[in-house]
A and B are shown apart, each in its own frame.
Chain A
Amino acid sequence: MEDLLDTSALIQLRVDGEFHELDVLAGRTLLDVLRDDIGKKGTHLGCKTGHCGACTVMIDGKVAKSCITMAATLARAEITTIEGLLDEKGGLHPIQQSFWDEAGLQCGYCAPGIVLSALELVTDNHHPSAEDIELALAGSLCRCTGYQSIKRSVAEACVRMYPANENIN
């Protein structure tokens, strides 16, 4: 059985569309691999216990906290970080644009995680209620905004992404 054991593991990640094959030490977090090995500094360390959500990325289209995800366990995965949301011309994603317009961020440290959580929400749910937004963002803390402008930003993003929403109320 000993041949199964190694101090590292081979993983294949497609990060924001770019392929990486990495040999990662056991115990290292996806957060560390993204930041230190791939240079995705937009993914932030806030607590390392999975409570704050600053480290949120998408794994295979679903949000996850990269600080409590062990990199070695991702044999093959598609990762989206905040740095992967811009369009081909470098323009902001409608959610990013809404957060900018509605001041859905101040210091910005939590913003990448919150924007990605909002993205997962609005991808499936084009007409989220206030309660839906609260549930989708329950995994993230923001210390600056009191959440008012964040909620506004997510609602506004839906209106922009799905213009038919304007008629609903």
Chain B
Amino acid sequence: MIEDKKESESYVGKSIRAKEARAPLIGKAKYTNDYTFSGQLYAHILRSPHAAAKINSVDVSGAKKVSGVHLAICGQDVFNHTNGITDHLNPAIFGGKSTRLPCMAVDEAWCYGQPVAIVVAEDERTARYAASRIQVDYTPLEPIIDVEKAVAKGARSVVPGWEDNTLIYVPFMNGDTQAAFDAASHVITTDVKIHRFSSQPMETRCYNAIWEHDTESITLYGTCQNPHPLRLVIAETLRMNENKIRIIASTIGGAFGLKMHGHPEEPLICLMAKLLGRPVKWVESREECLLIGAREQQHKVEMAFDSDGVMVGLRDNVLANIGAPSACPGWGMVFLTGLTMPGPYKVENIDVHMNAVTTNKPSWNAARGYGKESTAIALELAMDNAARQLGISPIDLRLKNFIAKDSFPYNSPTGLVYDSGDYSGVLLKALETIDYQGWKDKQAAALIEGRYLGIGVAFELTPEGGTIPGTMVAGYDSSTVRVGPDGTVRVLTGITSPGTHNATAMAQIAADELGVDIAKIEVLQGDTNASPYGFGNYSGRSTIVGGGSVALAAQDVRAKINAVAAALLEVEPDTLNLVSGVFSSSAKSDATLTFAEVCYASYTRAYDVAMCIDPPLEATRTFKPPGIRHTPDENGRINPYPSYSNAVYVVVCEVDTDTGKIDLLSLAAAHDCGKVINPILVEGQVCGAFAMGLGGALSEDIQYDANGVQLTKSFKDYVMLRMADIPPIGVAHHDCPNPDNYLGLKGAGEAGVGGSAAALVNAVNDALEPLGVLMHEMPLTPSRVWSAIQNANNGEGVN
């Protein structure tokens, strides 16, 4: 085999700085909103001020009279031009309910903020002003906001015609849970409430649609994680052929799931461009972005333990308030929360019931963790509670119950097949990173002074690279590697980047496989007319399937180049060496050729020396991770994930018992994402997710009043953490490579929101244990913590 260079000379494994980071630093990155086209028009959407209302009439005549307005239309008119929006994940495939999802409300508004009418004008200000001239006559209905009211007998159906409000109920059952609970020495119940918080990237959504008169087609510049699947959605919704739609996902300013498709504005803005024959742009306001929810779940976790503290059974009943129906894949988070039970713990007997419940709140979209973060929150709060009740340290209880390192591949009771892991090792690494014993000593010393320090630990298992049969959520992806006649490389991939610099990771892989300087590689993502068919960015998949497919394609191209090089040098390919862009052969000491010379010959000498290959120097390959199993087992279960990244998060905090305010003192994470392609990029993902989870646990909260009117409309009330809130984060790797994936990749980026949130809650409970305080409801705002302390003082310890 050909020896290129030593491991130490390869790009993979090094903190190569991202080429694509330069443009944003000099203000030249092109985000979607940075494109403006000749004849550009702007849209403003009028939204329902009611959570539930009959729409008696919509009179757009006032808007049409405003100078500069090109179009003002209501839901009924849009309805006449469109089909329902194609679901990202149709719940009906899984036995759930389905309904036609209009781009705008027609007869009835089913949540606050639902589009009711749209105005397109010369500029944004005119469009917004004109929208204020639209008269809508509503008859408000009793809104269903609370999840328990939504599932109560006789509750009004949010969707007319549905017999109840449960979009989907999914049980996950295995073993004999009843018997396990009957025989258990201890049963510990933990009620966990997770609130509504979402990913809120700094760049809000933006769509700019162009009607191409020459080809009667649409080009959509959009903030979009999944351009190819969105193409199908636009085509079906607008009753067009899929090949008449081109999506360009430009530089994306953060996504975290929020820019997965299904949003009504996607087809709506395309329709405006089609109707007007001019480019139409819509920029989501922050207030609109805060309509998008996620994660709101309440759990009743019951854990059964034997007398040794070994978990023998797990029950959970979950009600998730998913808001109004939507074509976005948010509801699927609930499914994943159940599927990921019981996480890292070796327990066969489980009885988990997931209920995704429709209400008159605005709908969800995917958010980092995609439900798996909620599994971690529920399990890890319950584990700490169990440890406390059993009188075992939370560390020991976890070590006792983790799936052992030698049990992989491990068949989970929900049908998942965990590829690899050393959960105890990850936990111990995290404790070492934070200096756990040191903090325990400080905690004891502080308590004597009347200060309350707490140390919290939580595990997060994050299945990555998911795929669901029968949907456009695919497990594979494809890439093209093209080496030009000058030896430079173009990589085209179906994977998109939400701003993580995964293109650099792919360039590192391509450079190593081709044996070229990384500076010679350009990666193009996000243009459906250029990239091979792909599914974009989600589920921590980008480097697993993007990197894997780039590697395969690069290997194919490299084989062609080697064949031509060998032919030119008149040696056997396996005698070739490629060092610093120069080919030589061990069989012929004097002859050399540059990489570029070989490439040029490959293009130009197809009928003589390059006869041995099919020109051009190009290959498109797909990486299909082998761990996925869609054929149901005897219990009807599938394994939709090829890879199971995992991590432990540790939070040290101090609680000000006078005010309830939490100060973070130290943070650490140890994780297993398989082989690390680029340490500085992975570290950035870990730290970003950590901050997002802490923000969720502390303050990020989208609230509604009793009528379902949104109260949280800006960053004044949706409080995300700032630099001063976050102490240094220690990051450690404890990698168990995935035996099935290219380079052992497991996925990095999605993990961390649940583990860090749970570690924070556990730390606060640890701090306040001497006061008898125990909280399992997020977020831990000062007022909530303070109230719990007051209640404990009054003898009501458990909150």
Contact = CB atoms under 8 A, between A and B. Distances in A.
Interface stretch (B58-66, B93-101, B349-357, B680-688): B680-688
Contact of A134 (B21, B36, B253, B723): B723
User: Among A100, A147, A149, which residue has the most Cβ atoms of chain B within 10 A?
Assistant: A147
Interface in A84-114: 85-86, 92, 96, 99-103, 105-112
Contact of A42 (B27, B204, B690, B729): B27
Contact of A146 (B21, B687, B716): B687
B26 A149 contact: no
A96 B729 contact: no
B720 interface: yes
Given A47-B286, A141-B715, A143-B256, A148 B729 contact: yes
User: Among A85, A108, A148, which residue has the most Cβ atoms of chain B within 10 A?
Assistant: A108
B500 interface: yes
Interface stretch (B195-203, B515-523, B601-609, B639-647): B195-203
A52 B256 CA distance: 18
Contacts of B343: none
Given A109-B499, A149-B684, A48 B286 contact: yes
Contacts of A96: 25-26
A51 interface: yes
- Majority SS of interface residues in chain B? loop
B26 A46 contact: no
Contacts of A99: 21, 25
A143 B720 contact: yes
A133 interface: yes
B253 A147 contact: no
B337 to A, nearest CB: 23
A106 B684 contact: yes
Contact of B691 (A48, A92, A140, A147): A147
A115 interface: yes
Nearest to B30: A41
B501 interface: yes
A54 B684 contact: no
Nearest to A42: B27
B349 to A, nearest CB: 38
B724 interface: yes
B728 interface: yes
B173 interface: no
Given A82-B27, A86-B26, A144-B254, A41 B34 contact: yes
A133 B723 contact: yes
A118 B96 CA distance: 52
A107 B252 contact: yes
Given A47-B286, A144-B684, A109 B27 contact: no
A103 B200 contact: no
B736 to A, nearest CB: 25
A66 interface: no
B25 A106 contact: no
Nearest to B23: A108
A165 to B, nearest CB: 19
Given A47-B714, A51-B714, A109-B201, A141 B720 contact: yes
Contacts of B681: 103
A136 to B, nearest CB: 9
B28 A145 contact: no
A146 B201 contact: no
Contacts of A85: 26
User: Among A36, A81, A106, A150, which residue has the most Cβ atoms of chain B within 10 A?
Assistant: A106
Interface string B1-44: 00000000000000101100111111111110110100000000
B666 to A, nearest CB: 13
Contacts of B254: 106-107, 109, 143-144
Nearest to A82: B27
Nearest to B253: A109
Contacts of B285: 48
B748 to A, nearest CB: 13
A149 B716 CA distance: 25
Contact of B31 (A44, A83, A133): A44
Contacts of B17: 100-101, 103
Contacts of A129: none
Contacts of B720: 141, 143
Contacts of A110: 202
Nearest to B123: A36
Contacts of A148: 683-684, 687, 726, 728-729
A151 B684 CA distance: 12
A42 B17 CA distance: 21
Interface residues of B, number: 57
A133 B728 CA distance: 14
A49 interface: yes
A102 to B, nearest CB: 8
B726 A105 contact: no
Contacts of A83: 26-28
Contacts of A133: 723
Given A101-B17, A143-B254, A138 B692 contact: no
B444 to A, nearest CB: 27
Given A49-B716, A108-B29, A109-B254, A138 B723 contact: yes
Given A49-B716, A52-B715, A85-B26, A107 B33 contact: no
A111 B716 contact: no
Contacts of A115: 25
A167 B274 CA distance: 64
A92 B726 contact: no
Interface in A121-157: 131, 133-135, 137-138, 140-151
Contact of B253 (A41, A86, A103, A107): A107
Interface string B251-293: 1111010000000000000000000000000010110000000
B19 to A, nearest CB: 10
A109 B723 contact: no
Interface in B690-713: 690-692
A103 B715 contact: no
B24 A109 contact: yes
Nearest to B36: A36
A85 B683 CA distance: 28
Interface string B84-103: 00000000000000000000
Contact of A92 (B25, B199, B253, B724): B25
B770 to A, nearest CB: 31
A45 interface: yes
Nearest to B22: A100
A68 B786 CA distance: 36
Nearest to A147: B723
B689 to A, nearest CB: 8
A47 B26 CA distance: 21
B715 A106 contact: no
A82 B28 CA distance: 9
B465 interface: no
Interface in B642-700: 680-681, 683-684, 686-692
A135 B283 CA distance: 31
B687 A41 contact: no
A131 to B, nearest CB: 8
B722 interface: yes
Given A106-B501, A147-B723, A51 B716 contact: yes
Given A41-B27, A107-B500, A138-B724, 13 more contacts: A83-B26, A103-B684, A107-B24, A107-B498, A108-B25, A111-B24, A115-B25, A141-B722, A143-B201, A144-B500, A146-B688, A146-B729, A149-B680
Interface of B: 15, 17-18, 21-31, 33-34, 36, 125, 199-204, 251-254, 256, 283, 285-286, 498-501, 680-681, 683-684, 686-692, 714-716, 720, 722-724, 726, 728-729
Interface of A: 27-28, 36, 40-49, 51-52, 54, 81-83, 85-86, 92, 96, 99-103, 105-112, 115, 131, 133-135, 137-138, 140-151
18 contacts: A27-B125, A42-B29, A86-B26, A96-B26, A100-B25, A103-B18, A105-B25, A107-B202, A107-B251, A107-B500, A109-B202, A109-B203, A134-B722, A141-B720, A145-B691, A147-B691, A149-B687, A150-B723
